[in-house]
Amino acid sequence: MEQFLAERGQGLMRTAVLLTGSVDAGEDLLQTALERLLRKWHWLDGDPEGYLRRTLYNPATDGLRRQGRWRRKLRPAGARRRTGYSRTLSGSVTVSLMRGGQVEDHLSAAALPPVLRGAGPADPRASTLGRAGATSPIPDSEVSCFERDVMVIGGCGHIGLPLAIAFADLGARVGIYDASDVAVGKVNAAQMPFDEPGAADVLKRVVAAGRLKASAGPGIVATAEHLIVVIGTPVDEHLNPDQAAIPNSLSGCADHLRDGQILILRSTVYPGVTALVEKMITRLGVRMDVAFCPERIAEGKAMSELSELPQIVSSRTPRGADRASALFSMLTPVLVHMTPEEAELAKLFTNAWRYIKFATANQLYMMANDRGLDFERIRQGLMLDYPRAADMPSAGFAAGPCLFKDTMQLAAFNNNNFALGHTAMTINEGLPLYLVYRLEQRFDLRSMTVGILGMAFKGGSDDIRSSLSYKLKRILAFKADAVLCSDPYVTADSSLRPLDEILALADLLVIGAPHPEYRDLGTGKPVADIWNVLGRGVRV
C-alpha cells in the first residue's frame, strides 16, 4: 500500500480536492476512502485505484455544498487540522489515516529533488500552527469579518479573470476591482472581455449565482479578506521595468485597505517589489499580511492549469504563508514554499528560460534554412525516442506579453548583464526581419500583395499584445506593394480582413500565428510557414 500511495497519492488527492472543492474536504474524503481501502486491501483483486476512485466519487457527488466548503477551508489558521496530505519543500508526500482522532497508518515517500529537501520552511500548516501569532499582529477575529472572500485587483485581465471565476466557482464570494470600465461592464454582464477556453460558461454560472461582482471603483477593495493583485507589469518603450507599477496601483486604492486583509501579489514583478510593498503597507499603518504567489498559467490553458500547476507561495511571515497557502490550496494540492526573493526570481527565471529555449530553436532554424535544409525535419528526427531532446520547440515567433518583457526585467535587475537573455531577444525579435530578408531573395516583393495569416501572438489565441505578426506587417509595409492581414480569433483590430479575401487577393502568404484553422488551407499560392502548420516543411 505504501508504494501505491507513493505513486498514486498525489493524483488521488488532486481528484479528491477537485471533487470537493477544498483541501480540507478533499483530505476528509480521501481519508474515508483510504480507510475503506485499507480494510479491503488484502482481498482486493488487483485494482486498488479503481476501488478507491469509486469510493471517492460516490460521497463526493452526494450533495456537498460549495459555499460551506469554502468557509470551512478558510477557517482561522489556528483551527486547522494537521493531518492529511501535503507536499512541501521538506520533500515528502504524506497521507495520514485517522481513526478516532489517532493516526492509524502514516505513509510517506520522498517526492522532491534532494536539493529542495529541507531548504525552505516546513509544511506551512505545521509551521504556522507552531508559530501562529508569533510575528503577526492580526488577531483571527479581524480576518473573518469581510463581505467577500477574495478581491482580484486587475481582475478583468487575462490572468486575473480566470483566477477570479475559478475561486467563485469553488464557492467563494469574489470581487474584482479593475480600472477598465469597459471590461468591468462586460464581466458584470457575464461576457468574457477576451477569449479563454472553458471560461465563458463558468463566468456565466458564477455571475448568475451572485458570487462574482466587478467594479471600476476602488471602494470594493475594502470588502474582501484576500486581495490578489494581478495588474499588468510591462516594460516601457526603452525596455525598462517599472518597479513602481504595483505600488502605484495600490496607492489608488490605499484608502480602502483594511486591517485583517492579506495582500497577495500575483503579477510578475521586478525583484524587490514585494519588499517595497511590505514597506508601503507598514507606512500606511494597515495591519495586513503580504505574500507573493506568482501566476504561472499560460493563456489558453488557464482554466485547467489553475488546478494542475503547483503553486509557489511566499511570504515574510508564517501567518502570511499560512493564509496564502490556505487560499491557493483551494485550487491545487501542491504548494511550493519559497522566500519572496526566491519566488520573484523563480517566476522571472521561468519565463527567461522559456524565451531562451525558443531563441535556441529559432537560431537553429535560421542556420538550417540558410543551408537549404528543413529545420522541422531535423527536429522531428532528432527528437524521435530521444528523451534528452524531447522539449526542443519548433521554430516560430516567440512573442506575447510576458516572455520578452520578463527576460528584460531580469536583465535590468542584473545590471544589464544577461548576455543569454539579450541574445535571445535579438534572435526572437529578429525572426520577422530574417523571414522578410529570405522572402526578398525569392520573390519580387515590391510588386506583390502579401497576406499575413494570424495576427495573435500565438495559435488559438485572440491576444495581439506584443505579437510579432505586427512587426512582420510593419517590415513588409516597407518592402511589399501591399500587406493584408487576417485572423479568425482577433476582434481588437478593425483592419483585419476575412481569410477568403486574403486568399483571393494575396500573391504570397505568410503564416503569422499557427492557428489550427490554417491546417487545411486550400491555396495554390506560395506560403511561408516557419511553424509547419501545413505540414509541408518550414524552408523559406
Ligand X SMILES: NC(=O)c1ccc[n+]([C@@H]2O[C@H](COP(=O)([O-])OP(=O)(O)OC[C@H]3O[C@@H](n4cnc5c(N)ncnc54)[C@H](O)[C@@H]3O)[C@@H](O)[C@H]2O)c1
Residue from 60, 183, 403, 427 binding ligand X (CB under 6 A)? 183
Closest by Cα among 361, 439, 370 to 398: 361
Residue from 160, 241, 333, 512 binding ligand X (CB under 6 A)? 160
* In contact, 252 and 176? CB cutoff 8 Å: no
Phi, psi of 180 (to 5 degrees): -90, 110
Helix (H) or strand (E) holding 169: helix 160-169
Residue from 6, 112, 179, 534 binding ligand X (CB under 6 A)? 179
Q: What is the DSSP letter of 235?
A: B
Closest by Cα among 93, 4, 96, 98 to 52: 4
The cell numbers describing 427, all together, are 534572435
| Residues near 113 by beta carbon (within 8 Å), at least 6 away in sequence | none
The span of 148-156, 204-212, 317-325, 468-476 binding ligand X (CB under 6 A) equals 148-156
Closer residue to ligand X in complex, CB, 86/351: 351
Residue from 93, 159, 321, 427 binding ligand X (CB under 6 A)? 159
Closer residue to ligand X in complex, CB, 305/429: 305
The span of 29-37, 225-233, 279-287, 355-363 binding ligand X (CB under 6 A) equals 225-233
Residue from 12, 174, 231, 452 binding ligand X (CB under 6 A)? 231
Closer residue to ligand X in complex, CB, 133/232: 232
Closer residue to ligand X in complex, CB, 110/244: 244
Closest by Cα among 106, 108, 103, 105 to 87: 108
Closer residue to ligand X in complex, CB, 469/532: 469
Cα 424 from Cα 396, distance rounded (Å): 13
Binding to ligand X by residue 162, rule CB under 6 A? no
Binding to ligand X by residue 180, rule CB under 6 A? yes
Binding to ligand X by residue 177, rule CB under 6 A? yes
Helix (H) or strand (E) holding 323: helix 318-328
Residue from 86, 127, 136, 249 binding ligand X (CB under 6 A)? 249
Three-point CA angle 85, 88, 89, nearest 5°: 160
Nearest approach, Cβ of residue 433 and ligand X (Å): 25
* Position with the least CB separation from ligand X: 157
Binding to ligand X by residue 73, rule CB under 6 A? no
Nearest approach, Cβ of residue 467 and ligand X (Å): 13
Residue from 10, 128, 233, 486 binding ligand X (CB under 6 A)? 233
Chain residues 256-295 in contact with ligand X, contact rule CB under 6 A: 267-268, 295
Binding to ligand X by residue 32, rule CB under 6 A? no
Half-sphere exposure of 499 (CA within 13 A, CB side): 16
Can you count the helices (H) and strands (E) in the chain?
19, 15
Binding to ligand X by residue 252, rule CB under 6 A? yes
Cα 268 from Cα 402, distance rounded (Å): 9
Cα 206 from Cα 175, distance rounded (Å): 11
What angle, 0 to 180 degrees and rounded to 10, lies between the N-to-C axes of helices 419-442 and 340-370? 30
Compose the 294-323 pattern: x for residues touching ligand X by CB under 6 A, - for all others: -x-xxx------------------------
Nearest approach, Cβ of residue 515 and ligand X (Å): 18
**Residue 457: strand, helix, or coil:** coil
Q: Which long-range contacts (CB under 8 A, 24 or more apart) does 514-519 make?
A: 514/396, 514/454, 514/458, 514/459, 515/453, 515/454, 515/456, 515/459, 515/460, 515/487, 515/488, 515/489, 516/459, 516/460, 517/488, 518/453, 518/454
Chain residues 353-412 in contact with ligand X, contact rule CB under 6 A: 401-402
Binding to ligand X by residue 154, rule CB under 6 A? yes
Nearest approach, Cβ of residue 57 and ligand X (Å): 33
Nearest approach, Cβ of residue 370 and ligand X (Å): 32
Nearest approach, Cβ of residue 118 and ligand X (Å): 29
With CB under 6 A as the rule, give the number of residues binding ligand X: 26
Q: Cell numbers 480536492 correspond to what residue?
A: 17
Strand partners, 450: 483, 508
The span of 46-54, 100-108, 118-126, 155-163 binding ligand X (CB under 6 A) equals 155-163
Q: Compute how many other C-beta atoms are within 10 angstroms of the C-beta atom of residue 113.
A: 9
Residue from 24, 123, 178, 342 binding ligand X (CB under 6 A)? 178
Binding to ligand X by residue 157, rule CB under 6 A? yes
Nearest approach, Cβ of residue 400 and ligand X (Å): 7
Provide the binding-site residues for ligand X, judged by CB under 6 A. 153-154, 156-160, 177-180, 183, 230-233, 249, 252, 267-268, 295, 297-299, 401-402
